[in-house]
Structure 1
Amino acid sequence: MWHSPNQLKEKIKLIWENNYRAYGYPRITMVLRKSGICVGSKRILRLMREMEIHSLMNRRFKKPGTHVDHSQRHNLIKHQPNARIWRADITYLELRPGTWVYLSSIYEPKVHQVLAFKIGRQMEATLVVETINQALECHQKPQYFHSDMGSQYTSNEVETLLERHQISHSYSKQGYPYDNGPIEAFHSLLKREFAFQTTFSNFEDLVIRTSNYISWFNSDRIRTSV
């Protein structure tokens, strides 16, 4: 079925707005084709340029430094490509100018899912413990739990919890965030696709909106890598 430029523009805008304005012309083309509209990506690119819309993926986020209290511990997953691994990290979300809260997440690359997350006003070990417990309640435990060397992850509370469940703790090399690339990539997407373009009214609003984004990420977002 043929669609006029204006009809396509309406569909493009709807797809773009319903997906956190994160989709560029390749993903929008994929969505249209899945819905039965045979259209070329070059045409979608041209129409999006006429509409002056694009994927909101150009702002970069620099990960803050991590406070480390211990000497380097072993990276156990470097030569374990087939193992079940939970990737964990904490990142900052801006509640309002100058006020930050902390998102603790666990991501499993094999299933491309965020298994658990918690948001807190303090970046402390209890936030990580709560996130791990949430993941364990709903998912089979992994062989390895991989994190950076931040003080929250090397705390006695976290180490004791992992030992109790017989989960081996693996660590990224200090100063090498790409050792934990999959969850770093997820947090980067979350910031560029969602957090940087969203104004929150209060802490509860931030929690609800972040939960909605993660639900969309897990179930609906078209994947090319993460």
Structure 2
Amino acid sequence: MIDRNHDLSISRQAKVLSLSRSSVYYRPRPVSAETLKLMRRLDELHLEHPFAGSRMLQQLLKAEGFDIGRRRVRSLMKRVGIEAIYRRPNTSKPAVGHKIYPYLLRDVEVLRPNQVWAIDISYIPMAKGFIYLVAIIDWYSRRVLSWRLSITMEADFCIEALEEALAKHGKPEIFNSDQGSQFTSIDFTDVLKREDIKISMDGKGAWRDNIFIERFWRTIKYEEVYLKAYANVPEARQSIGQYITFYNLKRPHSSLDWNTPDQAYCNHPQHINQAAA
């Protein structure tokens, strides 16, 4: 983690750890072990029952012995960044004055790499505390093109992930996100406009609009995150990085004719021709 008394500057330490610089100046309030346990269990229940709202989640938690009110369930859902499939929480609402773009992918057939990219943020529990993971995925191949960790949900680490994906993989025709303030921010959308990329945003409550990245969250949490108890951010970064490398290079997908995302992305004829050009 960041050592504020180290000889290296905080900015340099953040760069080494691949953390956004603004997030390291944020000093989070301590979170009790009971609250962390509740947050993790809420996230697990959401993956098992994505249709469950705060009322149902409260009853499910009570059945497991948690003494919790609905207001606290709603508060923790907002903190974790989860919602029932029919409702978006405040974490996915744009800030006042931010422009909302239309959803461009309805009835669009995605046939090639770099036709559509998608981005999203997910909560990652640790042994003590939690962090957020942002990932950018190519819709055609399911390949993770870039990712970042942060201790806050500010836009900085999302912009860093976007800039990295563009630098390494070119650019998509369409870029899709939800209506979260990180993705509607002027700084974020200006990067897309600079590259002349069409901006697409999920409709309100339309959870299926970004279904491929939702599936990735389910996969990485069941196969990596929930099997570990990261002691700190560097450990989480290393372990998650190793899993994403495995996911891209070695994990076959039935929807890709049992190819890996890397094979589907790199071996597509159009992508090969574009790379050669």
TM-score w.r.t. length of structure 2: 0.57
Where is the helix percentage greater, Structure 1 or Structure 2? 2
Q: What residue number does 1:18 align with? A: none
Contact 1:85 1:142 in 2 (8 A): yes
Change beyond 3 A, Cα 1:71–1:134: closer
Structure ID, larger Rg: 1
Q: CA deviation at 1:100?
A: 1.6
Task: Report the number of matched residues.
Answer: 168
Matching residue within 136, 153, 163 for 1:106: 136
Distance, in Å, in 1 between the alignment partners of 2:134 and 2:124 is 11
Distance, in Å, in 2 between the alignment partners of 1:134 and 1:71 is 24
Q: What residue number does 1:89 align with? A: 120
Deviations 1:120-166 (A, max 9, x none): 11111111100100101110200010000001000011111110011
List runs of 5+ in structure 2 lacking aligned partners. 1-43, 51-80, 83-88, 257-277
Distance, in Å, in 2 between the alignment partners of 1:140 and 1:77 is 20
Q: CA deviation at 1:73?
A: 3.3
Contact 2:137 2:213 in 1 (8 A): yes
Q: CA RMSD in A?
A: 2.0
Distance, in Å, in 1 between the alignment partners of 2:110 and 2:232 is 42
Q: What residue number does 1:209 align with? A: 239
Distance, in Å, in 1 between the alignment partners of 2:200 and 2:251 is 29
Alignment of 1:15-94 (within 5 A): 61=47, 64=82, 65=89, 66-69=91-94, 73-82=101-110, 84-94=115-125
Distance, in Å, in 1 between the alignment partners of 2:233 and 2:202 is 31
Change beyond 3 A, Cα 1:194–1:60: farther
Secondary structure, counterpart of 2:105 in structure 1: coil
2:249 is equivalent to residue 224 of structure 1: no
TM-score w.r.t. length of structure 1: 0.69
Percent sequence identity is 28
Secondary structure, counterpart of 1:222 in structure 2: coil
